[in-house]
Amino acid sequence: MGYLLPSEYVEYGLGAETSDGWVTMASALMEAHCRRPSLLVTQYVERMRLTAGAQTVRLSYRPLAAAVGAVSPLVGVNVRYGRPRRGEMTDPVREQLAFAFGVPGSRNALDPASVDVNLSTAELTFPQNFLGINYNEVEVTYTSGVVTVPAAVKVACAQIVKNAQATPAMNVKSSKMDTMQMQYFSGVLVDPQVQALLRPYVAERLG
């Protein structure tokens, strides 16, 4: 999708005659740079291993945002007591009890309301169970993105279009701009200014 509406082209410094193809191209480059399918609210699933002695994880996609009609960005949480790695078994007796809940392939649903969510950092803190044993594997289904496109994203989109139009080799009809060409010039088009504007939306820990 395009992150700028045709009615907004002039407001953000583009010509009224700007082809929609330029904005579509710029929007695709923004999503590729942020390593996510969309900057709008989208559902994601992440499986993570908790560090021994810690009950917190930080999600890869930010900002967290509840979908329309939802109260929390957390859709579902599954936990498991996986077999500890070497050096992680601090209490062998309790760990053996936990193995009863850690059958390979099985996960236990956890009430999302019992998980503490820090919206600003996308950090989750999980509760202990009645045995006092920490979980060490979690699968979190959640939503992240923006409900309405903020001005910073629109400015970034317009700037990419301007950069493309100012690049001689890119100054061709939008119908001829293919993926390979976009990828080749992405370092020029997504300049430091655009990167700074998109920094809050770049996914982490994904390569």
Q: Give yes or no: residues 123 and 196 share one domain.
A: no
Q: How many domains does the chain have?
A: 2
What does the mean pLDDT of the chain come to?
81
Q: Give yes or no: residues 28 and 66 share one domain.
A: no
**Is 72 within a domain?**
yes
85: containing domain: 42-144
Structure tokens belonging to residue 128: 């202990």
**Is 109 within a domain?**
yes
Alpha-carbon gap, residue 202 to 62, rounded angstroms: 8
Q: Give yes or no: residues 83 and 29 share one domain.
A: no
Specify the pLDDT at position 12. 96
Q: Give yes or no: residues 46 and 140 share one domain.
A: yes
| pTM (two decimals) | 0.79
Q: Is the pLDDT at 160 greater than 60, yes or no?
A: yes
**Is 74 within a domain?**
yes
Specify the pLDDT at position 180. 53
**Is 98 within a domain?**
yes
Q: Give yes or no: residues 118 and 82 share one domain.
A: yes
Per-residue pLDDT tens for 38-48?
A: 999 999 999 98
Per-residue pLDDT tens for 77-132?
A: 998 775 555 555 555 655 555 555 554 445 788 899 999 999 989 999 888 765 55
Q: Worst-scoring range by mean pLDDT, 29-33, 50-54, 115-119?
A: 50-54
Helix axes 179-189, 151-165, angle to 10 degrees: 110
**Is 89 within a domain?**
yes
Q: Give yes or no: residues 29 and 114 share one domain.
A: no
Structure tokens belonging to residue 113: 């309301």
Q: Worst-scoring range by mean pLDDT, 45-49, 61-65, 96-100, 143-147?
A: 96-100
**Is 1 within a domain?**
no
Other CB atoms within 10 Å distance of the CB of residue 129: 15
Count of alpha carbons within 13 angstroms of residue 92, beta-carbon side: 2
Q: Give yes or no: residues 100 and 70 share one domain.
A: yes
Specify the pLDDT at position 207. 46
Count of alpha carbons within 13 angstroms of residue 105, beta-carbon side: 0
Length of the chain: 207
Q: Give yes or no: residues 80 and 169 share one domain.
A: no
Q: Give yes or no: residues 55 and 128 share one domain.
A: yes
